[in-house]
């Protein structure tokens, strides 16, 4: 009987610890599933959407994550060239993964850490180069606007 109480107490303590971690601004994330903050899950989803737009060269859609007033001024191909050190025509994003979603204490700023696996395409000499397949860790910066909507700052994110 006493063992049952001990096990029950341990389960309650464990559940309380998980709830505590999931309720704060630094919610738990397990394999792409985020416990806690719905904003955290939303930011992770939008970051994946953004990377998918870059992967499929939909630069008009990729610019929509930026502030509406300045979307037309964004030169996504140039930003990509600066980040990946290759023209967007030769960039083939193979996969990406969100590693971390970090919100500040005010829940008005977010930093999303992603790992992008890509290869450089081109002639046979480039394709056969072992350095043609690379990993790049990126930070995507999001800011909550006065109207409550989130916007990515592309210049900071794609440096």
Q: Is 0.85 topped by the overall pTM?
A: no
User: Per the domain annotation, does 138 fall within a domain?
Assistant: yes
The CATH number covering residue 58 comes to 3.10.450.100
User: Per the domain annotation, does 57 fall within a domain?
Assistant: yes
User: Per the domain annotation, does 6 fall within a domain?
Assistant: no
Tens digits of per-residue pLDDT, 85-144? 889 999 999 999 999 999 999 999 999 999 999 998 887 777 777 777 889 999 999 999
Give the span between the Cα atoms of 45 and 36, in whole angstroms: 15
Average pLDDT, the chain: 83
Tens digits of per-residue pLDDT, 142-151? 999 999 899 9
Total number of domains constituting the chain: 1
User: Per the domain annotation, does 1 fall within a domain?
Assistant: no
Long-range contacts of 97-106 (CB under 8 A, 24+ apart): 98/29, 98/32, 98/44, 98/47, 98/48, 99/137, 100/29, 101/27, 101/29, 101/34, 101/40, 101/43, 101/44, 102/26, 103/25, 103/26, 103/37, 103/39, 103/40, 103/43, 104/25, 105/25
pLDDT band at 158 (very low <50, low <70, confident <90, very high): low
Q: Do residues 142 and 127 make contact, with C-beta atoms less than 8 angstroms apart?
A: no
User: Per the domain annotation, does 18 fall within a domain?
Assistant: no
Beta-bridge partners for 16:
none
Range of the domain at 98: 37-157
User: Per the domain annotation, does 17 fall within a domain?
Assistant: no
């Amino acid at each position: 009987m006493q063992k049952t109480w001990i096990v029950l107490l341990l389960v309650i303590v464990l559940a309380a610890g998980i709830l505590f971690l999931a309720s704060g601004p630094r919610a738990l994330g397990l394999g792409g599933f985020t416990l806690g903050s719905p904003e955290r899950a939303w930011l992770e989803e939008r970051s994946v959407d953004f990377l998918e737009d870059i992967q499929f060269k939909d630069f008009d859609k990729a610019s929509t994550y930026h502030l509406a007033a300045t979307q037309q001024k964004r030169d996504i191909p140039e930003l990509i060239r600066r980040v990946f050190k290759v023209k967007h025509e030769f960039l083939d994003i193979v996969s990406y993964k969100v590693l971390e979603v970090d919100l500040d204490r005010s829940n008005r700023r977010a930093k999303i850490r992603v790992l992008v696996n890509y290869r450089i395409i081109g002639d046979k000499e480039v394709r056969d180069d072992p350095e043609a397949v690379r990993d790049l860790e990126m930070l995507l910066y999001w800011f909550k606007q006065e109207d409550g909507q989130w916007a990515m700052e592309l210049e900071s994110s794609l440096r």
